[in-house]
Amino acid sequence: MLLALASLLPAPQPEVRLLSDGWGSSSFTDPNLCVDTSAGQAPRMVLISKTPAAADWQDRLALLAKYLLWGLLLPVFALAALFRISRRPFGTLSASFVAVGLLGIAPAWFQWTLNPGFVSLRQALGIWLVERWSPSESLFPLIDATALLVWLAGGALLCGGATFVATWAAARLVRLDWRALARDLLPLAGVTLLLGLTMDSALYLRGEGANLDWLPGFRASLLTLAVGASTWLGWRRMQTVGAGGTANRVLAGLLWLLPAALVALNGWLMFFHWTNRYHV
């Protein structure tokens, strides 16, 4: 029902809020009243006063549906699905999904609007396509879609592939089933989903005027706990269940640090390095 409401209701005005009215600018520039500079006159803009935005009942209903659907229910359902996966025997499909999907594709999806590298990729693809086809309005959606698909594939190949190979190699060194070791990636996958899917929740809260000064510390704490938990679980499994000599165990432990390091790096980039006025 929430999805239907969010899809069918008219989009609320950009400046309205669910619980706090009076947002937005108190004036605007009327282009029809601006001085024409073609006669050699200095440019002059005319500011027109306006009443700050106030939401009507349709705006509030649309905002409520959006907040509940994308800000609350989506993160809850995603974490519930991950919990169900963790309760079942870990087969090849589940282990690959966690390593490549949740720790490769998911981080790439969460960061594509923030990473300057995506802008460079989109520009490079745009130049390549424009040089081969005549520019048209239908070409720009193709550029966006192609850039996003290439970006997600790159995330799956680089981050997901590195996590998969590191887990498989570490398990091989200590004679473990790599799927059992991949289960210990779940804390990293859980915090990646939680922090990524609640980015919109944070934006909604800030838009309503909530004080989010505590959020960076909270995110850093969750990342630290997840990295520590996953590292400890994997090391404990390799020491208690695994076999092999000391050199193999040490090398396996170093390989096991790679997935945690990738998650920590992604979290630092997204929530501390690329932070700006449009991202909470």
Contact call for residues 194 and 75 (beta carbons, < 8 A): yes
pLDDT per residue as tens, the chain (280 positions): 555 555 666 676 666 777 766 555 554 455 555 555 555 555 556 566 666 667 766 777 777 777 777 777 788 888 888 888 888 888 899 999 999 999 999 999 999 888 888 888 888 888 887 777 776 667 778 888 888 999 999 999 999 999 999 999 999 999 999 999 999 999 999 999 999 999 888 888 887 878 888 999 999 999 999 999 999 999 999 988 777 788 888 999 999 999 999 999 999 999 998 876 445 5
Copy the structure tokens of residue 274. Answer: 């690329």
48 - beta bridge partners?
28
* Sequence-separated (6 or more) residues with CB below 8 Å from residue 25: 15, 50, 52
Strands 47-49 and 27-29 come out as antiparallel
Map tokens 């509030």 to a residue. 60
Instruction: Find all residues with CB under 8 Å of 244, minimum gap 6, and list them.
Output: 173, 174, 175, 252
Long-range residue pairs from 111-117, CB within 8 A, at least 24 positions apart, any chain: 111/266, 111/269, 111/270, 111/274, 112/148, 112/151, 112/152, 114/269, 114/270, 114/274, 114/279, 115/269, 115/274, 116/274
With beta carbons less than 8 A apart as the criterion, state whether 175 and 249 touch. Answer: no
